[in-house]
Amino acid sequence: MILNQSTSNKWLKSINQQTVLRLIYSEGPISRVQLADKTGLTQQTITNIVNRLLQEDILQENVPLENGVGRKPVPLEVKSGSLYAIGIEVAVKYVRGTLVDFQKKPHAESVEMLPLTRDEGLTVQCIKKVINELLSYVPNMSQLKGIGCSIQGLVDSSTGIVLHSPGLQWIQVPLAEKLEGHYNLPVYLENDANLLAVVENLNGSLAASTHSLTFKFDHGVGGAHIMNNKLNTGANHVAGELGHIKAFYGDEAKPCHCGSSGCLTTLASYSGIKRNLGCSVEELMLRLQNNDPLAVEWSEKVEMALSMTVSNVITFLNPDHVLFTGKLIDQLGTEIRARLRQRIMENIPETCRGVKLVVLEQTPNDSILAAGLVMNQFFDVPSV
């Protein structure tokens, strides 16, 4: 890309402003001096940016800190309580929406059940009904910065198109365009695993991380890769499909819904266990407590396959953090989790052992997470 002088100055100004704004949001309250230290920008540049953001009513100055002599540093903070976002979870059976402020505090919730007969128009109508109800709780429309949607399936977040959602029976649906045209607000889409990774990276359990992996073991198995604080979606938006990595061989390779067999998801997810073992995860866990041979065999196989798969991905990508979440992880209990952690650390080379393995204690509400897409975009630093 060739930029002329005025475009490149504007671009640089935007990169600097967003770098400062994102830092204030994720690490604030923070003073102008600390901002200059952390960003390497001059005091004058920081002053100009902060003045602009104060004028736009995005920042607030808190009470100056006492530090003995000289001018007292003034802590700066994003006025996150007065900025709003709407988050929408489009699940297979329902649409749930939440209006949150930028501190992730929920202000209103709305839920609509989806009709059993799959109809694209009716599903979009349900989404609009939920949004319309939430709009009535927004104090001032200029404070609402956008709508974020969590979708189960393949999503091209750069164009806002749902590529394929088997649960909704959608193929190539331009959902963002349909909603943006109607509401005149920016709309962002993401699949559930990517969404979790992006939002946790912004100001959650991955805030201290630059390169991370997120693995969700739930109905299926999902994964996401953040590199330099940016989501890596791959060439066709399907990067991170951990569930379809081959992890079982020979007689143990069960058929997978992707058309292949032996995928990790066939024995390490709610749907895979139901399909291939004919029982629920809850039943399997009860059997495991009673030392039932089938359950013990499953546990050994899955611990081995899961730790090998995760270790190989860590060895290849060298993340600083790996986040585990999902209903299956919640069910495994502390003993199995501890064994998995030990196996993973033993499998990876010493050079990668600085990695932090983090378990998200509770799988978060997807509609609140989806609102985080709006915040992530608002605080996004453009790439050079």
Minimum gap (Å) between residue 152 Cβ and Zn ion: 16
Instruction: Identify which of residues 269 and 376 has a Cβ nearer to Zn ion in the complex.
Output: 269
Q: Are 364 and 102 in contact, with CB atoms under 8 Å apart?
A: no
For Zn ion, which is the closer residue by CB, 209 or 269?
A: 269
Joined together, the tokens standing for residue 193 give 């695993």
Answer whether 381's CB lies under 8 Å from 15's CB.
yes
Least distance to Zn ion, CB of residue 240, Å = 14
Kindly state the smallest distance separating residue 238's Cβ from Zn ion, in Å.
Answer: 12
Name the minimum Å distance from CB 265 to Zn ion.
6
Apex CA 207: angle with CA 75 and CA 102, to 5°? 60
**Stretch 259-288 residues interacting with Zn ion (CB under 5 A):** 260, 263
Q: Is the CB of 78 or the CB of 256 nearer to Zn ion?
A: 256
Instruction: Name the residue nearer to Zn ion (CB basis): 52 or 237.
Output: 237
Q: Which residues contact 355 (CB under 8 A, 6 or more apart)?
A: 314, 318, 319, 320, 321, 322, 348
Residue with Cβ nearer Zn ion (126 or 263): 263
Of 244 and 321, the one with the shorter C-beta distance to Zn ion is: 244
The 8-class DSSP code of residue 29 comes to S
To Zn ion, the closest distance from the beta carbon of 258 in angstroms equals 3
- Please give the size of the binding site for Zn ion, defined by CB under 5 A: 5
Cβ burial of 39 (10 Å; 0-12, 13-18, 19+) is middle
Q: Are 87 and 98 in contact (CB under 8 A)?
A: yes
DSSP 250-289: GGG--B-TTS-BSBGGGTSSHHHHHHHHSS-HHHHHHHHH
258 sits near Zn ion (criterion: CB under 5 A): yes
Q: How far is the CB of 364 from Zn ion (least distance, A)?
A: 26
Binding mask 81-120 for Zn ion (x = CB under 5 A): ----------------------------------------
Would you say 259 or 293 has its CB closer to Zn ion?
259
Instruction: Kindly state the smallest distance separating residue 263's Cβ from Zn ion, in Å.
Output: 3
Helix pair 293-317, 270-277: axis angle to 10 deg? 140
Q: Which helix (H) or strand (E) holds 183?
A: helix 175-183
Cis ω for the linkage preceding 29 (within 30 of 0):
yes
Q: Closest distance between Zn ion and the C-beta of residue 253, in Å?
A: 10
**Taking the mean position of all CA atoms in its chain, how far away is CA 96?**
17
Q: Using CB under 5 A, which residues numbered 227 to 256 contact Zn ion?
A: 244, 256
**Cα dihedral 359, 370, 274, 247 sign:** negative
Kindly tell me which of 108 and 277 has the beta carbon lying closer to Zn ion: 277
Are β-strands 94-101 and 230-231 bridged in parallel, bridged antiparallel, or unpaired? unpaired
Q: Could you give the CA distance from residue 325 to residue 364 in angstroms, rounded to a whole number? A: 9
Report the interface residues with Zn ion, using CB under 5 A.
Answer: 244, 256, 258, 260, 263
